[in-house]
Chains A and B, each alone.
Chain A
Amino acid sequence: MGRTVGGPILEVEGISLSFGGVVALQAVSFDVREHEIRAIIGPNGAGKSSLLNVINGFYHPQQGSVSFKGAKRRNVDPHEAALQGIARTFQNIALFRGMTALDNLMTGRALKMKSGFVQQAIYWGAARREELEHRARVEEIIDFLEIQHIRRTPVGRLPYGLQKRVELGRALAMEPELLLLDEPMAGMNVEEKQDMCRFILEVNDQLGTTIVLIEHDMSVVMDLSDRVAVLDYGRKIADGTPGEVRDDQAVVDAYLGVAH
């Protein structure tokens, strides 16, 4: 591979998050190194999605801190996280259903476009030039994800597998440094999964994007990721290379259940 894993880009320290009496995360610490593919696994309800939501600002933890690119931040909003270079996809696809695939991807460029309100209103000068530049960049992503044929289709009409791909495309259009993927392969058939794996590896390899992914398919996790963190009931119970985690007794117990 052409990439080299660097120092930590994201450090989550001692995060605790609860909703009323329900504890979602308890003192979870976790780091992500630059250019790596980091997986988070765990049984249903273990707190995996909550952890992603904390990283990208949808949830604000009661305790603990998150540092991104060395700067400690507290309670950022999702759009601030996006500004800092964090993009994500969702477990239950959150696309703009009434818009075409192309417009969905262009929306991902929103933060990179600078022309003012008035210029936009009359679609003049810089606004027009900018639109064309970003369109070219979005077309590259469309080619990469092999979705040329559905460019003009409203995404609400697309089959599930393609919607997932468009959502990845929208996140890529943001040119993020950190990409959070929440179950990118859920509900896909074998071929779609293979395609998605290929895209994730290529993004990581060619663009050097750091990726955090939640996934249930163990063979996918073992093949793709550099390191794996395991959550159970809101606590981290293991962390290490795929091989180490697979042999960990606590992980086996969490997945298979243990006799008390």
Chain B
Amino acid sequence: MTHLLYGIFIDPFVQMGTAPDLLVQTLWEGLASGVLYSLIALGFVLIFKASGVFNFAQGIMVVFSALTLVGLNEHGVPAYLALALTIVVMLVLAIAVERVILRPLVNQPDIILFMATFGLTYFLIGLGELIFGGDPKIMISDQLRLPSGSYRIPVFGGYVQMQKIDIAATIIALLMVATLAVLFNRTRIGRALRAVADSHKAALSVGISLEQIWVIVWFAAGVVALATGIMWGARSNVSFALEIIALKALPVLILGGFTSIPGAIIGGIIIGVGEKFGEFYWGPLLGSGIESWLAYVIALVFLLFRPQGLFGERIIERL
């Protein structure tokens, strides 16, 4: 018993104190994977904020965009042209989703739209396998001139290993968030997006076109998905298994709040860092494997005490 308590409450902190370089290394690794969780959550938040639809297909959009990029390159299209073409494909996808799914289902209950995104998920899986095959592909990191290799930085007498690709992913994520935050809060299009999220009727009456707004958010979510796909693909490889990581976005969203862009980022980082810490310091107690479920436990605790998330809009019902 005392042994167990020691293992939970004392030993991990002793380790952190005695090997600060490992602490920093764990922190950095958590941050790097947290940033990727954040990017996926960001795609969810965009669509949820503007249309109230929980887009289950965000995960497959990540895979589909990455597959398109690599697939085009395999067929001899130069890397940067393939990147541009993939962005066009995401635009076409956004237009198609608006025409085929959202427009006919306008004013239907949210659950119907949610189910429709399930349908979209399986459609995209099928289409992806049909065109590109089911085998994992290698991300074209070199052709895209993504940095590879790592820095070894001396810290506290030890070394911290930082992958250059992780640093790049962090910078890209920060840029995207800054752009989206300004877009949402300071501009006409941002206000129109929030207006549509708030009331379709009122938005129409001031002359906002729902169709146009929906295409814009789905396209933005598609571009975010592409960035996520490239970064994840560069760390592992591009396969349909990536779709599973989309489920990691759920705890991130519960932490950050479904409507908050900064929340998605902070939530992602908390989950990423929490997972790595849990795995490294407390994992051995339980025979490891903590990483795959810790995020959901953190989310559960949050649901109990702060259901609107860290930054979500507080839900106040007037009786």
Contacts and interface: CB of A to CB of B under 8 A. Distances in A.
Q: How large is the interface on A (under 10, 10 to 19, 20 to 34, 35 or more residues)?
A: 35 or more
A56 interface: yes
Contacts of B210: 79
Interface string B58-91: 0000000000000000000000000000000000
Interface string B36-62: 000000000000000000000000000
Interface string B279-317: 000000000000000000000000000000000010010
Contact of B207 (A111, A115, A122): A111
Nearest to A167: B202
Contacts of A40: none
B171 interface: no
Interface residues of B, number: 28
A117 interface: yes
Contacts of B191: 99, 103, 106-107, 110
Contact of B205 (A82, A106, A130): A82
B236 interface: no
Contacts of B173: none
**How would you classify the secondary structure of chain B's contact residues: helix, strand, loop or mixed?**
helix
Contact of B182 (A58, A95, A98, A122): A122
A94 B199 contact: yes
Contact of A96 (B190, B199, B207): B199
B269 to A, nearest CB: 24
A171 B202 CA distance: 10
A78 B186 contact: no
B209 interface: yes
Contacts of A97: 198-199
Interface string A105-126: 0111111010101001111000
A103 B187 CA distance: 10
Nearest to B208: A110
A98 B194 CA distance: 8
B188 interface: yes
Interface string A67-109: 0000000000111001100011010001111110001001111
B179 interface: yes
B187 A127 contact: yes
A110 B192 contact: yes
A121 B179 contact: yes
A131 interface: yes
Contact of B202 (A95, A103, A123, A130): A95
B311 to A, nearest CB: 13
A227 interface: no
Given A95-B199, A97-B199, A109 B188 contact: yes
Contacts of B207: 78-79, 82-83, 110-111, 174
A76 B204 CA distance: 12
| Closest A-B pairs by Cβ, 4 of them | A82-B207, A94-B202, A78-B204, A96-B198
19 contacts: A77-B204, A79-B204, A79-B208, A82-B206, A88-B205, A90-B201, A96-B199, A97-B199, A98-B194, A98-B313, A107-B195, A108-B206, A110-B188, A120-B188, A122-B182, A127-B187, A131-B187, A170-B202, A171-B206
Given A94-B205, A108-B206, A122-B179, 10 more contacts: A56-B205, A79-B207, A90-B205, A94-B202, A95-B198, A95-B202, A103-B194, A110-B207, A120-B190, A174-B206
Interface of B: 179, 182-183, 186-192, 194-195, 197-199, 201-210, 216, 313, 316
